[in-house]
Chains A and B, each alone.
Chain A
């Protein structure tokens, strides 16, 4: 059989309680029991969490978009009417012309503040204001565990888990317990990750993707042929990992950087349900 992509040691001694009590359909929370004794599906179920930090800042415009934006602005100005400010500027320009031509009768100077002065004032004020930086320090340092990085992209949380002998990068997951839905498994994963620091909004009850794999021959037991992982999408609202958490165990990666961490087949499945923002 082809070498499995993963080596998982999922506990040979763990007995799989899936087929014990009869199903009771009805209310959705924890009254779900295990499936009827159906030994034809030896797959283990895992609920995984695809936690995304949505972008804080709009994307940089491509050259084509910049050009088009400039053209549209120009066309809009051409088609518009004069504004009050512009009318005032035109009047003052006329008055200045009259003054220069020496045909100007001395009138009372009512407007000490010219349009030019106003515009200069506004310019000064604008220059004094320092907006937040679009490219942050973390970008410069390439600190991938920071959340304040790549503000115009979606960042996905990856964790390093020990499976068998190896440390593998993957999306955070947990095994499904009888009596809960898979979405609740994902929520449990979120809770255990950060000890209730992270708050997320789950996007629906249905999984967004799945990945299944078979265990290596050495690991396969009676009731476990392989595992099926179902991914659930969530958007990060607030919170972050506390700095006390051990570094190197988690990473906030954008879609391009996923390839640096995930195994190829896993990556292929995961990329399908991530928008290329």
Chain B
């Protein structure tokens, strides 16, 4: 309904101030909004006449004083309000809460008018009354939320509920921990999708006979070469180790204490880092080109859940 958001907004804004004014806490502030509205409208509509009445009745009720006038205004409003809404039932006690001098008669009339209605409803449970009220309310301002609960006192069950919620969360966390952890993906092993394109395939190359022969022979020669290279390396390492062993033996014969020192582990040796040889040596006084680079490597973190 077009008017409803506005109405809701208005009622929302007005509900809190309306509730203290409506001295009907048992009824709840559910009706405070429209009641407030009614109040406001009535007040607004009645402001001038009331003012007039007040001015008229000023000298009359001057003795009553401001509180009296206030009190008079409220039952006055209530009386008119009650008269305006015949379908609404009122609690018996609420009408006569503040009997003012002037409005007592009006109040009594309104009270008597509504009593059969309340009598009708009094036997039945209040839910139907609520439903009726709700129906009428809906017809007025559509989907206005009619429930604005006042602050509830913290009951004893609440901490238990909180604890139960926490327990459920912890259980969920434990289940997650037990499940196998998601492993960090190895980027190299995942083929990017763009390389599955058929257009990228090279046409198969047909080698001539000589070329394939040359390749086969070269591969065989290479394997032999590598084998010899490996043997040479092994011989070199064996010679190194032998020389060291003999030196240590000699040292033991000469000075056992120094030998003990020599065979101790050197903690400063590892970690051992060295830059390997490049193809060309570094250029002296080299000016690298100016510029920045953005490191876009993806960094994955794998959190170790400890139970």
Contacts and interface: CB of A to CB of B under 8 A. Distances in A.
Interface of A: 23, 25, 28, 32, 35, 41, 43, 45, 54-58, 64, 67-68, 71, 78, 80-82, 87, 130-134, 136, 151-152, 181-183, 201-210, 212, 228, 230-231, 235, 269, 272-273, 275-276
B244 A134 contact: no
Given A81-B200, A181-B262, A205-B262, A58 B278 contact: yes
Contacts of B265: 205
A230 B255 CA distance: 12
A78 B263 contact: no
Contacts of B232: 276
B218 interface: yes
Contacts of B281: 56-57, 132-134, 136, 151
A45 B251 CA distance: 9
B280 A134 contact: yes
B190 interface: no
Given A87-B200, A228-B254, 4 more contacts: A71-B218, A132-B283, A183-B261, A210-B246
A55 B236 CA distance: 18
A183 B250 CA distance: 15
Main secondary structure of the interface of A (DSSP, over half): loop
Contacts of A206: 244, 247-248, 262-263
Which of B201, B215, B280 is packed against the most chain A CB atoms within 10 Å? B280
B280 A57 contact: yes
B222 A210 contact: no
A207 B248 contact: yes
Given A132-B283, A273-B240, A210 B250 contact: yes
Contacts of A23: 257
Contacts of A276: 232, 236
Contact of A131 (B200, B219, B283): B283
Given A64-B221, A272-B243, A183 B215 contact: no
Contacts of A207: 244, 247-248, 251, 262
A81 B202 contact: yes
B258 interface: yes
A52 to B, nearest CB: 12
Contact of B257 (A35, A54, A209): A35
B240 A275 contact: yes
Interface string B274-291: 100111111110000000
B269 A203 contact: yes
A80 B202 contact: yes
B258 A181 contact: yes
Which 10 A-B pairs rank lowest in CB-CB distance, beginning with the nearest?
A210-B247, A131-B280, A272-B243, A132-B281, A81-B200, A273-B243, A209-B243, A207-B247, A181-B261, A132-B280
A76 B274 CA distance: 30
A206 B277 CA distance: 27
B126 interface: no
B222 A64 contact: yes
B233 to A, nearest CB: 9
A2 B258 CA distance: 30
A27 B289 CA distance: 52
B202 A43 contact: no
Contact of A182 (B262, B269, B282): B262
A239 B221 CA distance: 43
Interface string B43-56: 00000000000000
Nearest to B276: A58
Which of B199, B251, B282 is packed against the most chain A CB atoms within 10 Å? B251
A91 to B, nearest CB: 10
Contacts of B240: 208, 272-273, 275
A187 B272 CA distance: 19
B205 to A, nearest CB: 5
Nearest to B204: A78
Contact of A230 (B199, B251, B263, B279): B251
Nearest to B280: A131
A54 B275 CA distance: 10
A45 B247 contact: no
Contacts of A54: 274, 277
Interface string B213-251: 001001101100100000010001001101110111011
A81 B195 contact: yes
B269 A45 contact: no
Contacts of A212: 250
